[in-house]
A and B are shown apart, each in its own frame.
Chain A
């Protein structure tokens, strides 16, 4: 299964694509921080820091109503 197929299946369940190779569960995001080059750093509930690429930041902002 390709990542975009997985993304289509999981989007209704609060999962979203943040980079070419990563889908995250947005419910598990605990903190957000702007990063260089228009990217965004997401701190997950397990302490892991994930960097969302520029092209996916707009969908995160749209989700938050920004």
Chain B
């Protein structure tokens, strides 16, 4: 049985869109929350739509935190987090009180605190690529991706692979070794989103050789 890309299913978010996007790229992903599937995966995708504290609660409920830590931090399998999936990689989330996140990339998640802008930050915004990431190969700065969020990731510049401007700067994607994550939805960002996913898949293929 060949290894698969596993989309972590913890009842938060639109796994079907990601399945569809990967199918368009010729990849048959597995949606699962089973320990064996995650352990034996080629790479992981961590989706997420909803609230930080609920996401962490669900990860605990499905007993996924330990296996995710092992697979990602110890076995260094590639992982792509999307939207809330990116946010829970932080140390702390401040939605509905303070909740501890996975703590994979140092930072905090706070409500977008930019004066005179409408919240949520929803729609197509252009990104500025930083720190030379494989995720943005052949994707120029000023490309648009779809955002829909009220909270944002505050972290050091060195962890950011791109940022976006909404009267002030917002972290649009982060990266550390085998861990990649986007605040925007590549599975809902038409061709450029598919390109980004293709870049991730190419990286996964390289790593598995």
Chain A partners chain B: no
* Contact surface of B with A, Cβ cutoff 8 Å: none
